[in-house]
Amino acid sequence: MKVKDLNIRRIGILTGGGDCAGHNAVIVGLLRRINQANQTLPVDEKMELVGLLEGWKALTKDSGNTVPLDLLTIEDSFKTAGTILKSSRTNLFSKANLEAKAPEKAMEVLKKLNIDCLVVLGGDDTLGAAGKLGQQYTFPMFGAPKTMDNDVYGTDMTYGFESSVEESVHFIENCRTTARSHNRCFVVEVMGRHAGWVALWAGIAGGAEVTILPEEVLNLDEVIKKVEKTIAKKQHCIVVVSEGARLFDTRYPEAINKRHQELLNSVINDPKYALVKARHEMPKKKDSFGNEQLGGIGEYIFAILEKNTKGFEYRYQNCGHAIRGGVAHVMDRILGLRYGDAIYEFMQQGKFGVYPGLEGDKIVPRDLLEVKGGRFVPSDHQLFKMRNAADFI
């Protein structure tokens, strides 16, 4: 069934989950094609793109929450990160929202807004919800895989990743000049939830002596040795830590978990690290999809290193959200524009319920119902073995 057969005129678009570079590029990429088509379409067949504000939240409000999208007004937005449509982590399928019949309500709001087709930009949670909704209500849905974490199934790369890497590298390099000037070791934490791609790429590109990933079996005694070696040779050092890295894991040999507990205790029992202890004891927050709010592992590693390698100065820096914002770097501009363009193509071909994935240099349609997270760094990946510059000095 083609767009014409389905009579798709008003296309809704929303962005869900954490923002990142490239969202605006997808919107612009799709709008460019709609505008181009409108140049030759008869008046009663012209299409329009309508922005739904704050992700799925827009569809929980009776009136919806929409904004018209005009290419000349938003044409430059693809050069910046963030999302011009705003975002939220609303989960239409959470227990509370299912009880409140949120999916049904979302469909009513779409109907009220005369939206014929919905394009959803997000990570696996957002895309998964689009798949379910589209299937349950036989509604034409499309998605695009975002996330700075680069962890969405079905694509070699998500948009948002490359810009976050560039920003992280910039951050690491800034830390390097001051680290070198003062003979210090900086522990730099970067976001990326449970997949270590950002830390891996940024650590290597930024020349970090040690890069710690969620995917590895962490051995802090080995990290201490690498840091001491680096300090002996260079008098300064950078350790990059992915926020999803863990001190303890059921995957680790028992002896490692035990040793890490000793190292952690040595820190939290020291009054000098009272703040680390306080943060350690704080209850962990979760978002509406059940994802734990991460952040702070770098601080433990900083404290453990400081306590266990004598006579050297340490600093801890958490890049936090800053690496997700600012400029959209070239790769994300291009990838986002390609995804937007591809969505239009899929629409024209009547391929509903899909999102574009990058496979080599090709864009291929992927089924929204098959989307999932957890595209992790494999331990046999070339970069995995290259991640610690300290191994090579």
* Residues annotated as part of the active site: 149
When CB distances to ligand F6P are compared, the closest residue is 18
Q: Which residues, 305 to 324, sit near ligand F6P by CB under 6 A?
A: 324
Nearer of residues 20 and 84 to ligand F6P, judged by Cβ: 20
CB of 3 to ligand F6P, least distance (A): 31
106 is a contact residue toward ligand F6P (CB under 6 A)? no
Q: Which residues, 10 to 69, sit near ligand F6P by CB under 6 A?
A: 17-18
Site string (159-198) toward ligand F6P, x via CB under 6 A: --------------------------------xxx-----
For helices 254-268 and 297-308, angle between their N-to-C axes, nearest 10 degrees: 80
128 is a contact residue toward ligand F6P (CB under 6 A)? no
CB of 158 to ligand F6P, least distance (A): 10
Nearer of residues 18 and 145 to ligand F6P, judged by Cβ: 18
Q: Which of 25, 84, 294, 377 binds ligand F6P (CB under 6 A)?
A: 294
375 is a contact residue toward ligand F6P (CB under 6 A)? no
Nearer of residues 294 and 305 to ligand F6P, judged by Cβ: 294
Q: Which residues, 226 to 245, sit near ligand F6P by CB under 6 A?
A: 243
Nearer of residues 147 and 163 to ligand F6P, judged by Cβ: 147
Q: Which of 116, 124, 125, 149 binds ligand F6P (CB under 6 A)?
A: 149
Chain contacts with ligand F6P (rule: CB under 6 A): 17-18, 123, 147-149, 191-193, 243, 294, 324
